[in-house]
């Protein structure tokens, strides 16, 4: 579960440092969001209700704030 979240985090960080135009980084941010959503799906029934309900919204907020 946690390695999937780490992979999603690395995807988001690489989207931020890739630079370029906003249009070029849009696809990277979309793939980072998809990675976060995929990682969140693995939390269903993991016995961590706080993470299950709160981690995805927090991660997506951070991604959107980084996007500007």
Q: What torsion do the CA atoms of 45, 55, 32, 40 make, to the nearest 10 degrees?
A: 10
As a whole-number percent, the residues of the chain with pLDDT over 90 amount to 65
pTM flag (> 0.75)? yes
Instruction: Evaluate the CA torsion angle 46, 51, 54, 59 in order and state its sign.
Output: negative
Range of the domain at 10: 2-67
Given a cut of 70, is residue 43 above it in pLDDT? yes
Mean pLDDT for the stretch of residues 29-53: 93
- Model confidence pLDDT, tens digit, residues 7-27: 999 999 987 776 555 555 567
**What's the pLDDT score for residue 23?**
54
**What's the pLDDT score for residue 24?**
53
As for how many domains the chain has, the answer is: 1
């Amino acid at each position: 579960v946690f390695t999937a979240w780490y992979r999603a985090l690395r995807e988001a960080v690489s989207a931020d440092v890739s630079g370029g135009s906003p249009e070029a980084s849009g696809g990277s941010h979309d793939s980072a969001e998809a990675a976060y959503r995929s990682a969140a799906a693995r939390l269903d029934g993991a016995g961590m209700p706080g993470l299950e309900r709160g981690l995805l919204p927090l991660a997506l907020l951070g991604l959107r704030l980084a996007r500007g």
